[in-house]
């Protein structure tokens, strides 16, 4: 292998290493930016429910010792 082919080989190797590092850096940065954004997914059936409204809740397991008849109130943040 002569000097020219070794130079071309090393130039491509350095170029690929640089591109790999740049790609990893960009993907890490974009992933961290996506993690900072709040992810709010509201169920389609809950879109019409306003914050503070009482909801009807059905519990099939009856506990005689539980005297709580509290209303469930939805709070959206």
Count helices and strands in the chain by DSSP H and E runs: 1, 2
The number of distinct structural domains making up the chain is 1
Query: Residue 7's domain spans which residues?
Result: 3-73
- Position 57 scores a pLDDT of 73
Tell me the pLDDT tens digit for each residue of 7-31: 999 999 999 999 999 999 999 999 9
Q: What is the pLDDT of residue 32?
A: 92
3-class DSSP state for residue 72?
strand
pTM over 0.75: no
């Amino acid at each position: 292998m002569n000097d020219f082919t070794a130079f071309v080989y090393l130039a491509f190797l350095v170029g690929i290493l640089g591109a790999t590092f740049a790609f990893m850096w960009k993907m890490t940065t974009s992933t961290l930016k996506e993690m900072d954004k709040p992810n709010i997914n509201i169920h389609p059936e809950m879109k019409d429910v306003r914050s503070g409204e009482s909801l009807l809740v059905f519990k099939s397991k009856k506990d005689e010792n539980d005297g709580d008849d509290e209303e469930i109130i939805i709070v959206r943040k």
